[in-house]
Amino acid sequence: MADRSELLDAALDSLPEGIALIGAEGQIVLWNRAAEAITGYAGRDLLSRPVPEPLEPLLLPMSFESDQPSADLLPGRGVLLRFHHNLGHELPVIARLMLLRNEMGGRIGSIVLFHPSESLDALPHGEFGEDSGVEADQNEFEIRLNAMYENFLQGGESFGVLWIIVDQAHDLRSTHGAGACDAMLDKVEHVLAGGLRPAEEMGRWGDDEYLILSHERTPEMLAAHAQALAILARGADFRWWGDRVSITVSIGAAQAERNLTLIDLLEKAKAAMISSRQAGGNHITSAPGGHECSPS
């Protein structure tokens, strides 16, 4: 049976909001998994140590004062702060500070709760149903996407995105119910994951949609990779009540460029995906140019 400490650690690690506990001497006492995902700093490198300089604007109490250049007050929500991610880029977060005191009123530490600002919420997404549980799981994937883009702008690896929608998902949900559709999407996700390159990442981007972050170096290489993934999806053996259900995907591919914002990049990938669907599905479209092809 788990003890109280283990239960508390598990509970804090399950929260989507970053949580940092700072001791009276300025050392970091607690750093949950969301804090690791948002900042890029692992807890094992921070615990029992003073706050590192790049995190000072986020974790030190004076940052929350309204006359500080790094702070913008957001009434009822917290303070908009800017600090440097472990990869070096500046990241805005909304944070709240609570001072911790003992029974005598003496200060014994502080706790900071934080999450990325709404600038991430402006990213284009897929469609979500009213009761979808997918949207709540996207925070960490958005953070990695934003970090990859910022790293690219600073001279890091080139990358592109593949926006994928499962062509049959909507009809299967309507005719056979959510259970059948969820089972098919699990199958597609498993098959696509098996075709990813090293260091590629895939996340759910809508009820029936996925986003893949790829380090292919050119639009042509990205499109070829998309074709290979589409062929894998088409070969997936999915059966429902004994009947085999054919699976195809429509994919939009867009390569990052330094004159494109992240929002523009995703809009291009989404528009390309929509072009693939309008072509009848089972297509790959590269942006820009609208070149369409069917997996062979």
Residues 81 and 18 sit within 8 Å (Cβ to Cβ): no
Residue 245: per-residue pLDDT: 87
Q: Do both 188 and 283 map to the same domain?
A: yes
**CA 252 from centre of chain:** 18
Q: How many domains does the chain have?
A: 2
Residue 148: per-residue pLDDT: 86
Q: Do both 202 and 71 map to the same domain?
A: no
Residue 163: per-residue pLDDT: 97
Q: Do both 111 and 28 map to the same domain?
A: yes
Q: Do both 189 and 111 map to the same domain?
A: no
- DSSP string computed for 212-263: EEE--SSHHHHHHHHHHHHHHHHT--EEETTEEE---EEEEEEE--TTS-HH
Q: Do both 27 and 157 map to the same domain?
A: no
Residue 88: per-residue pLDDT: 81
Q: Do both 144 and 242 map to the same domain?
A: yes
CA–CA distance from 62 to each of 9, 56, 58, 72 (Å)?
Answer: 28, 9, 10, 13
Residue 86: per-residue pLDDT: 86
Q: Do both 103 and 235 map to the same domain?
A: no
Residues 94 and 115 sit within 8 Å (Cβ to Cβ): yes
- Domain assignment of residue 127, yes or no: no
Can you tell me whether residue 30 is helix, strand or coil?
strand
Tokens of residue 146, six digits: 């934003």
Q: Do both 69 and 168 map to the same domain?
A: no
Residue 73: per-residue pLDDT: 47
* Among candidate residues 116, 146, 175, the one where a domain is terminated: 116
Q: Do both 283 and 147 map to the same domain?
A: yes
Residue 7: per-residue pLDDT: 87
Residue 75: per-residue pLDDT: 43
Domain that holds residue 220: 135-293
**What's the average pLDDT block by block, 10 residues per block, for the chain (296 residues)?**
78 87 92 90 92 90 63 57 84 87 88 76 71 61 81 87 95 90 93 93 91 94 96 91 90 92 91 94 82 60
- Domain assignment of residue 150, yes or no: yes
